[in-house]
């Protein structure tokens, strides 16, 4: 088969791993658009700081465990570690179904995060694809995650109305068990390289390489911004007159349009990733600055969310691809573990920061802080060395 085309094994690997990510992330995303509105109905849920911690708690556990999971998969194989992590995540989901106060919800989200399989699944995707197709595969995964996010924005408010928050947590656990079956029966086995012992110095190279540090810092800021926003955006929509079951009317067209707009950027990024990355970060900064500076209604908020999701989807696709290209092959799981650690720590600190800033300084300040962080990212991303094109 011509080298420029993905072979059937690569297509199967990308599609099946995208499915694993999708089933797992759909459950997580079901919680995101409704929890801030639901929280006041449980004990302790009227404290926005605790609500933010509950939204981001799984990120702290993931941040602690991503590197150990990635290194374990380098040593003992990707699939056994995937099974273990998905089982832990399912247990946290079922605990969440029993949560009747904010602290149990925080514990459940923390246990969900202890199933830190993102680095393992992304390393497996890199193991199963050639370098010139890695951006496509990461885009498949990123697009699936974005689609699941869109689906959750539509479905979560409606499901919440029917089955409640406990039902959403239970559904999350069931979806995770489905992901275990998908790993077992559809995801190809990794090559022998994935079971090799990482070389000496791999941790230092994966954690301290200047170019990887730029990417890790970027994903950290991206997820701070995402989770800080979703502490305040759902209540904003309710205050603007769009009740929770109607939020899909804003989210669905915005996310679907962002899919279409991201495709040319993803294709161009295969050959020239740096200009695409810088443009997406600049677009993200502009959207956050506009939300901070302007008194927008629902239409204005929809426009800014469209800009946000175009930038977010592009960055979610190209950042892991760049990490996999720059990481040493036998330490790829560990290097992607470092990347996912910074990503999930961004989830935790985003929820915490969004809740704290909103409590003390108001909604507008949340967007202002997010804009400042993205501008900081743009400044250190400017020094990124051009990445060689793949053919």
Q: What is the CATH number of the domain that holds 326?
A: 1.20.1250.20
**For 21-24, which contacts have Cβ atoms below 8 Å and span 24 or more sequence positions?**
21/118, 21/121, 21/141, 21/144, 21/145, 22/144, 22/145, 22/147, 22/148, 23/175, 23/176, 23/178, 23/179, 23/182, 24/86, 24/89, 24/117, 24/175, 24/176, 24/179
Cα(145)–Cα(147) distance, integer angstroms: 5
Q: Is residue 1 in a domain?
A: no
Q: Is residue 389 in a domain?
A: no
Contact 323, 384 (CB under 8 A): no
Q: Is residue 2 in a domain?
A: no
Q: Is residue 307 in a domain?
A: yes
Task: Name the domain count of the chain.
Answer: 1
**Range(s) of the domain holding residue 91:** 8-381
Q: Is residue 226 in a domain?
A: yes
Q: Is residue 236 in a domain?
A: yes
Q: Is residue 391 in a domain?
A: no
Q: Is residue 386 in a domain?
A: no
Per-residue pLDDT of the chain (391 residues; tens, 9 = 90+): 445 677 787 888 888 888 888 888 887 778 888 887 888 888 888 888 888 888 888 878 877 887 788 788 878 888 899 999 999 999 999 998 888 889 999 999 999 888 888 878 878 887 888 777 776 777 778 768 767 877 887 788 888 888 988 999 999 999 989 999 988 888 888 776 544 455 555 555 555 677 888 888 999 999 999 989 888 888 888 888 888 778 878 888 888 888 888 888 877 877 788 899 999 999 999 999 999 988 777 888 889 989 998 999 889 878 877 877 777 666 666 677 678 788 878 888 998 899 899 989 998 999 999 999 999 999 989 888 766 555 4
Q: Which residues pair with 293 in a beta bridge?
A: none
Q: ∠ CA(134), CA(139), CA(145), 5° rounding?
A: 135
Block residue for tokens 């950290």: 220
């Amino acid at each position: 088969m011509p080298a420029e085309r993905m072979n059937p094994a690569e297509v199967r690997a990308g599609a099946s791993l995208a499915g694993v990510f999708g089933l797992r992330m759909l459950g997580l995303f079901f919680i995101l658009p409704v929890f801030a509105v639901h929280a006041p109905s449980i004990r302790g849920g009227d404290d926005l700081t605790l609500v933010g911690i509950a939204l981001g708690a799984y990120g702290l556990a993931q941040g602690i465990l991503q590197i150990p999971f990635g290194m374990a998969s380098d040593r003992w194989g990707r699939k056994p570690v995937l099974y273990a992590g998905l089982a832990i995540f399912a247990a946290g989901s079922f605990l969440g179904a029993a949560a009747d106060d904010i602290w149990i919800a925080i514990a459940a989200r923390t246990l969900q995060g202890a199933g830190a399989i993102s680095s393992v699944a992304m390393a497996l995707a890199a193991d199963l694809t050639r370098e010139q197709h890695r951006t496509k595969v990461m885009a498949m995964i990123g697009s699936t995650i974005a689609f699941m996010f869109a689906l959750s924005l539509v479905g979560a408010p409606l499901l919440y109305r029917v089955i409640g928050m406990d039902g959403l947590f239970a559904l999350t656990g069931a979806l995770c068990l489905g992901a275990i079956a998908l790993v077992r029966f559809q995801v190809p086995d990794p090559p022998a390289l994935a079971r090799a012992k990482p070389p000496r110095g791999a941790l230092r190279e994966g954690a301290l390489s200047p170019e990887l540090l730029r990417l890790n810092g970027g994903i950290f800021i991206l997820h701070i911004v995402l989770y800080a926003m979703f502490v305040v955006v759902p209540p904003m929509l309710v205050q603007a007159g769009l009740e929770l079951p109607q939020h899909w009317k804003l989210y669905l067209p915005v996310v679907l349009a962002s899919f279409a707009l991201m495709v040319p950027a993803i294709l161009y990024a295969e050959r020239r990733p740096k200009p695409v990355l810088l443009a997406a970060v600049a677009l993200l900064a502009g959207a956050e600055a506009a939300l901070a500076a302007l008194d927008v209604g629902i239409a204005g908020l929809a426009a800014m969310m469209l800009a946000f999701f175009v930038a977010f989807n592009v960055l979610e696709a190209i950042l892991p691809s760049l990490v996999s290209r720059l990481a040493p092959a036998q330490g790829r799981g560990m290097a992607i573990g470092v990347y996912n650690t910074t990503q999930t720590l961004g989830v935790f600190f985003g929820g915490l920061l969004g809740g704290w800033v909103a409590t003390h300084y108001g909604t507008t300040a949340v967007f202002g802080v997010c804009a400042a962080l993205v501008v900081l990212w743009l400044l250190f991303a400017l020094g990124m060395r051009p990445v060689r094109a793949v053919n």
